[in-house]
Amino acid sequence: MKFIYKAISFTIIIIGTLSCGGGSSEQTKQGLFIPPSNVAVSSLTISSTSKELEIGQTFQLTATINPSNATDKNISWHSSNSNVATITPTGLVSALLEGTTTITAVAGGKSASCNIIVKKPFIPVSSVELNINEVALDVQQNPTITLTATVKPDNATDKSIEWTSSNTDVATVSNGIVKAIEAGNTIITAKASSKTATCIVKVTAPLRAVDLGLSVKWANRNLGAKAPEEFGDYYAWGETTTKSYYWWSTYKWCTGTTVTNEHLPDKLTKYNINTKYGQVDDKKKLEPSDDAAHIILGGSWRMPTSGEFSELLQNCTMVWTTLNGVNGYRLTSKKNGNSIFLPAADEKNQDSVYYAGSYGYYWSSSLYYGWESYLAQTLTFSSTMQFSGAGNRCFGKTIRAVSE
């Protein structure tokens, strides 16, 4: 008799709870032990994506792995240019050399980067010096000069210079080259960072006649002045030279003061229309020989008449302003936009000027139209008023010349 054996395969399913050593676990809750699974890194973030450092500085980077229960939490760090900056296994960046590099963190096949820019240490400017602190230029003779600025310390990070002129109508500046434009004063400033140095520039130029679109042209500065804002010289009416003392006792066209009133002339010897003050000559306008502007400047230059002052006031816009620290009026023509500046020079009474900067008195060539021949007509102004006035002929006042 033959016996035939056939292998039979089957599967045993265990239902229930297996116990090993009397304990239990998640792996055995269903009665089957399951080995731990591998949790992959889904992303990697870095604490900073860009950073500027100075040579010698350090910076800590941190990397965060997501999810937090990823199996592989090992992070490796790399620098694309270790000459510029290095990175330690813990993420500490050290800046070594000026330049750029990329720091990369890698974990579980994911990466994140931070761009590092390394600069030289910032060294602030401590001072700026100019090779010249004050200079005189002339529009015709020597119109330009080059200023040189020295920035300290020598290794300052930013040594760039910004050049400016306080009055570009007088002189301009570009890269330290100063060019004279018109008579006057200006301050050239060289600025590096927050430090500055200055040079005072004084420009002279031939007297210029400014066309305001009126019957005469007006000088761009006072008689005896070198710049529009300068007061210039003081003259008694009808005198062509300056002096130290302005009073009737020193006035050319009288015999001194009266016995009863020292503020009035005794006898006028010229330009008189009233017998009260001596012999009448009916001269009401200065002759060329007594006109200070004509004698000093020559040509067609002369003192303005009272009528020309009135024309000036009627056809110009007057703005009280300051030019290089000097108060006065900017008169701008309503006809063509050109302008002149009249400084508030006050007047010289005896040997003193009391209110410079507050008042202005300018002689005309016209005798006062009333009977008081000891007066001559003026342009008078303060910050709040402008009008045709009159003043004692013996006082020293400023002159603004006109030309035909």
* String of DSSP letters for 190-208: EEETTEEEEEEEEEE----
pLDDT for residue 156: 94
pLDDT for residue 369: 86
pLDDT for residue 364: 98
Q: What tokens does 132 get?
A: 């010249």
> Where do the domains of the chain lie?
43-119, 127-204, 209-403
Report the SS3 class of residue 400: coil
* Regions of the chain with pLDDT less than 70: 1-36, 259-260
- Give the residue from 244, 236, 128 showing the smallest Cα distance to 176: 128
pLDDT for residue 11: 40
What CATH code is assigned to 43-119? 2.60.40.1080
Q: What is the pLDDT of residues 147-187, one digit of tens each?
A: 999 999 999 999 999 999 999 989 999 999 999 998 889 99
Please state whether the peptide bond connecting residue 89 to the residue before it is cis, i.e. omega within 30 degrees of 0: no
Q: Give CA–CA dist 99/92, Å, rounded.
A: 18
Is 43-119's fold the same as 127-204's? yes
Domain 127-204 has CATH 3.40.30.10: no
Report the SS3 class of residue 295: helix
- Give the residue from 255, 261, 185 showing the smallest Cα distance to 226: 185
For the chain, the maximum distance between any two Cα atoms, rounded to a whole number of angstroms, is 185
Q: How far is CA 113 from CA 76, 297, 330, in A?
A: 12, 79, 64
Spatial contact of 26 and 37, defined as CB atoms under 8 Å apart: no
pLDDT for residue 37: 79
Q: Give CA–CA dist 245/263, Å, rounded.
A: 14
Q: How far is CA 123 from CA 97, 100, 163, 371, in A?
A: 16, 20, 21, 76
The amino acid at residue 123 is I
pLDDT for residue 2: 38
Spatial contact of 386 and 342, defined as CB atoms under 8 Å apart: no
pLDDT for residue 31: 52
